[in-house]
Structures are given as structure tokens and as C-alpha cells.
């Protein structure tokens, strides 16, 4: 539910002559069935302020709008810090789209097959309507910034203009007295106006509501009942070249479609920080800018420098290779040789897939005297030099007598190739049994 909604805009927002006109001043000809009223009813807004007015321009947002009777107060007066939703439809009167369409209709009466409208506005020195569109862009930007200044927590939606004329022709002369080329020209200018509004919305933290695509096929040249926008001679209650009640309902559906989507995240400006190292536990000061008030979550990540990364990798290699005994020997420290753990028996600190070590470095070797499974690929260690003590550890093999031997681990897929990444080989001394020669045979004389 929307707590507070403000509705700003011109005649396409106010829906003049669509029953029933409500509000003050009466000269605004504001309807209670315009698209802002439909949106407020569906969204369940508890407080609605509709200040849209016929013929309003961007200048009438911050200043009173002169009318035949009482002036319409500045539309920005309807905004405050409690406002949570603002819909605005503005810009067409700044460009002069409706005025240009009426002028072209008058010219087209005498030139049903010519280019009277295009020739009147598009001259060798430049296109007057295109120049007005470009000149209106800063005004749309100022209007959106004015909304954010007065209602910083409000969701701002700016509504584009629907397809009043047939897209890319043909026309429907004499119902709409315009040639096919003039119909195409006016449609080009309307789409250019929508593109300008959408561009400014993207730059100034507003959401653009596209009503053009949803209304194609319901232009002023279609039959009553299908027609959402009236021509020069309206067949339904509406101002000429303006939406009727069906057109206002279509625009309301387009607005509700945008409201049904999550609000885009605010734009985060460049993050400024001091280029220096900060120890863990120390305070860090960051400076940033958001396009609107929002909750921001920052995650700090510790980044290793090159020297720390090299040191960590060396420690990992040392753990995989095994620490060589330093200082006192194992016997002097009171450690039994049979109890000493071989480096390959130590669990790897990381999975072997990360270090690409040999398979034998991942699986601990079974202690001496343990039963070996037939499918075991573990190396059998015979004698290892521990601090200068030569001790043999006979290990049972698959067949044959028990004798000291050192079997290399088999190379498997994923094992480390020969090179600097291979764990250093520990010195192994193989003890051979003394061979006693056979006694000489007794020879008979």
C-alpha cells in the first residue's frame, strides 16, 4: 500500500472532458477517471494529491499556472518529505506536440497527399520540432531533480506519451485529415520526445513508463470501441488529440506494470579511499555518494600483497614436503623410530586438486606391519634416515619374502609432473642383507 501519492502533469495526465471533472481550480478540467486516479485506487494509496492541470508545462511545476479564472498553485507544493510515490506526465506541451498536430491537421485539409506538415517544420536550416525536443531535455532534468529535492524518499515515475497516430502510417483521411507522410512525421516526433524523456529519467533516478508500445493499434484512425485516442472530431468524451477513458485506463495499466517491479537500486558514485595499508582492527574512513537515500552495506576484503602470497605458498609446500628434523635427533628427543610419522602420512592442508600434488601425497601411508589391501597403491617404505639412525622397516608385499625396498608411487591422472612443483624426495637408504657364500663342496681325492 502506498501511504502518500502525488500526481503531477499536463493534459494527458488530467484527462480533460473525460467524465467526471473534479478538483480545483475548475479550469484544469481534471477527471476522476484519469490514469493517476486509477493507479491510486488499485495501489491503495491512503492519501492522494492530484494537482495535474490541462496545458501545464515544466514551468508550472515550481510557479503558479495562469488560467482563465483562478491560477493553479505550483504543482511542487503537493510534495513533501512524507511522499512515497510521485507520477508525472510532462514535456509534451514544452515541445508543442499537440499544437503541432493541430496545425498539421489544418494544413492537411488542403494537401491530403503532400508533405505539408513535414515541410512546415523540417526546413533546410533545421527541424523546429527536433530543436524543441532537445531544448526540453534540461527542463525535464530540472523537474526530476525538483521532485527528489522535495521528496527524497519518493519513488518517481515519469510517464511517456502513447501512440495517438498510426505507427508508420497509413493515415485515415478524411477522418484524420493528414497525409501518410505527415502521419509518419508526427509519429517520429512523438517517439523522439519519448526517447528524450526516457534518457533524462535514466540520468536522474526516475523510472520511465512506456505507454507507446501498449497502445499501438488503438490510435485515432481505429474504429470506436477500439479507439483509445480521439482525433479532430472526438467520438467519445475527450479533448481532441487526447486519450479517452479507454486510453487513460491503458496508461494506468502501464504505470501499474512498472510499480509491480522492484525499484531499481540507487546509483553509487565513485568510492574514495586512502591508498594505504590498514591493519586488522583499525578504523577505515570511506567516502561515497548515493543518488538517493538508501541502506548501504559495505564488505571489506583482505587482499594479500605479493610477498605475503609467496610466503604462504612456501609454507604450503613445506607442509606437503614435510619438515626436515633440525637440532636434536629423534632418538635424543626420546621419540621412537617406530612412532615417528613419515611426512607423507600427514594430511594435506588443502585438497590435492588445488595443489596438483601426487596421489601419494594425499593418502597417508599405512604404518609398518599393517595389512595392505591388494588394490593399495601406497608406497612401501623400507628404511628412512631419521637423524642419522639407519633402521629398516620391512613391509609385506604381494608375493615373495619380506625384504627392504622403496617403491615409488604410481603416476596417476592429476599427479604432479616432474619439476619444481613436485615435493622434494627424502633421502632413503636401502639396507641389503649380507650374502653368505655357500661352503665349498667336498671333493673326493
Q: How does pLDDT run across 297-313, given as a tens digit for each residue?
A: 777 666 666 777 788 88
pLDDT of residue 432: 54
Q: How does pLDDT run across 367-405, given as a tens digit for each residue?
A: 444 444 444 344 433 333 444 444 444 444 444 444 444
Write out the residue range of the structural domain in which residue 184 sits: 4-259
> For residues 213 and 195, what is the distance between their CA atoms, to the nearest angstrom?
13
> For residues 88 and 52, what is the distance between their CA atoms, to the nearest angstrom?
8
pTM: 0.64
Contact 79, 151 (CB under 8 A): yes
Residue 31 lies in a domain: yes
Residue 27 lies in a domain: yes
Residue 130 lies in a domain: yes
Residue 131 lies in a domain: yes
Per-residue pLDDT band at 364 (split at 50, 70, 90): very low
Q: How does pLDDT run across 64-118, given as a tens digit for each residue?
A: 999 988 899 999 999 999 899 999 999 999 999 988 988 888 888 777 788 888 8
Residue 417 lies in a domain: no
Residue 97 lies in a domain: yes
| CB neighbour class for 76 (10 Å; exposed up to 12, middle 13-18, buried from 19) | buried
pLDDT of residue 165: 87
Per-residue pLDDT band at 125 (split at 50, 70, 90): confident
Residue 268, strand partner residues: 290
The whole-angstrom distance between residue 425's C-alpha and the CA centroid of its chain comes to 52
- Report the number of distinct structural domains present in the chain: 1
Which residues touch 344 (CB under 8 Å, ≥6 apart)? Answer: 322, 360, 361, 364, 365, 379
Q: How does pLDDT run across 321-357, given as a tens digit for each residue?
A: 875 544 444 444 444 444 444 444 444 444 444 444 4
Mean of all residue pLDDT scores within the chain: 76
Residue 39 lies in a domain: yes
> Which CATH number do you get for residue 244?
3.40.50.1110
Residue 183 lies in a domain: yes
Amino acid at each position: 500500500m502506498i501511504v502518500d501519492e502525488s500526481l503531477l502533469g499536463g493534459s494527458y495526465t488530467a484527462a480533460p472532458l473525460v467524465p467526471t471533472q473534479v478538483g480545483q481550480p475548475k479550469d484544469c478540467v481534471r477527471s476522476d477517471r484519469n490514469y493517476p486516479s486509477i493507479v491510486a485506487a488499485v495501489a491503495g494509496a491512503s492519501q492522494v494529491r492530484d494537482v495535474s492541470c490541462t496545458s501545464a508545462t515544466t514551468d508550472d511545476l515550481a510557479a503558479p499556472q495562469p488560467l482563465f479564472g483562478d491560477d493553479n498553485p505550483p504543482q511542487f507544493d503537493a510534495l513533501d518529505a512524507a511522499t512515497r510515490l510521485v507520477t508525472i506526465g510532462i514535456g509534451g506541451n514544452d515541445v508543442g506536440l499537440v499544437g503541432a498536430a493541430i496545425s498539421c491537421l489544418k494544413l492537411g485539409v488542403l494537401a491530403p497527399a503532400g508533405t505539408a506538415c513535414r515541410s512546415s517544420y523540417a526546413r533546410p536550416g533545421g527541424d523546429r520540432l527536433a530543436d524543441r525536443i532537445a531544448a526540453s531535455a534540461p527542463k525535464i532534468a530540472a523537474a526530476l531533480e525538483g521532485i527528489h529535492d522535495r521528496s527524497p524518499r519518493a519513488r518517481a515515475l515519469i510517464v511517456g506519451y502513447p501512440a495517438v497516430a498510426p505507427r508508420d502510417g497509413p493515415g485515415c483521411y478524411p477522418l484524420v485529415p493528414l497525409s501518410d507522410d505527415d502521419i509518419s512525421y508526427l509519429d517520429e516526433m512523438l517517439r523522439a520526445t519519448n526517447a528524450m524523456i526516457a534518457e533524462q529519467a535514466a540520468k536522474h533516478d526516475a523510472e520511465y513508463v512506456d505507454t507507446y508500445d501498449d497502445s499501438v493499434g488503438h490510435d485515432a484512425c481505429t474504429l470506436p470501441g477500439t479507439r483509445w485516442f480521439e482525433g479532430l472530431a472526438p467520438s467519445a468524451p475527450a479533448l481532441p488529440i487526447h486519450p479517452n477513458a479507454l486510453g487513460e485506463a491503458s496508461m494506468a495499466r502501464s504505470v501499474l506494470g512498472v510499480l509491480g517491479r522492484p525499484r531499481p537500486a540507487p546509483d553509487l558514485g565513485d568510492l574514495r579511499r586512502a591508498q594505504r595499508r590498514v591493519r586488522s582492527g583499525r578504523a577505515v574512513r570511506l567516502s561515497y555518494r548515493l543518488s538517493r537515500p538508501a541502506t548501504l552495506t559495505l564488505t571489506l576484503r583482505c587482499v594479500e600483497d605479493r610477498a605475503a602470497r609467496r610466503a604462504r605458498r612456501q609454507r604450503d609446500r613445506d607442509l606437503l614436503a614435510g619438515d626436515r628434523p633440525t637440532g636434536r635427533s629423534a632418538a635424543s628427543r626420546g621419540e621412537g623410530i617406530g612412532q615417528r610419522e613419515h611426512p607423507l602420512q600427514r594430511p594435506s592442508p588443502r585438497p590435492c586438486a588445488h595443489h596438483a600434488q601426487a596421489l601419494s601425497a594425499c593418502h597417508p601411508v599405512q604404518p609398518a606391519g599393517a595389512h595392505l589391501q591388494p588394490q593399495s597403491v601406497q608406497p612401501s617404505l623400507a628404511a628412512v634416515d631419521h637423524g642419522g639412525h639407519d633402521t629398516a622397516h620391512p613391509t609385506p608385499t604381494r608375493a615373495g619374502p619380506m625384504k627392504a625396498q622403496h617403491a615409488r608411487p604410481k603416476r596417476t591422472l592429476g599427479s604432479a609432473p616432474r619439476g619444481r612443483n613436485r615435493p622434494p624426495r627424502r633421502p632413503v637408504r636401502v639396507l641389503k642383507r649380507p650374502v653368505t657364500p655357500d661352503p665349498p663342496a667336498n671333493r673326493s681325492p
